Amino acid sequence: MRAIAYSIKPNEKESLTLTNEKKHSLTLISNDLNDRTLLYAQGKEAVIISSYDLLDRRMLLALKEHGVRYIITRSRETTHIDLEEATRLGFKIANVPSDNQSADLVSRAVIRNLDAWGQGKCVGSACCCMKITPLEEKKKIDRPCTDGYRLSG
């Protein structure tokens, strides 16, 4: 999978590179994701962000226009991502749900998520997608995606 990781720190760079074992085509940059650095996402399937990279509606639309389909945040938190809009736009979203946020654990989680998506599978407990059934649409209740660990579309 072709992916770009923004806001990479030196210890994360080494850990991600070693964990990846050249399975995925990773571009690692220290700059945050913003209007000036968005162009580096062109042609990538996935973006890997930190909790400091804000993905609001405008940025999500821009990523979609650049061909991005997957978003991984290297944090447990997802408050920096407009999950409802991301789901509406068809993004698959994952986080690192562990309390342990060491560079090695985060790197393993990121690569595991890329591996799963590359095989057409859901990322399980790391899945942050929101799926709304017709009945829930009427009630406006959102719930995590649990589509049998298979991606649709």
pLDDT digits (tens, 9 = 90+) for 27-69: 999 999 999 999 999 999 999 999 999 999 999 999 999 999 9
| Cβ pair 92, 60 in contact under 8 A | no
The pLDDT value given to residue 129: 83
Distance in angstroms (rounded) separating the CA atoms of residues 33 and 15: 20
Domains of the chain, residue spans: 2-144
pTM of the complete model: 0.85
CATH number belonging to domain 2-144: 3.40.50.720
pLDDT digits (tens, 9 = 90+) for 32-41: 999 999 999 9
Q: Which residues contact 5 (CB under 8 A, 6 or more apart)?
A: 12, 16, 26, 27, 28, 29, 47, 48, 49, 74, 110
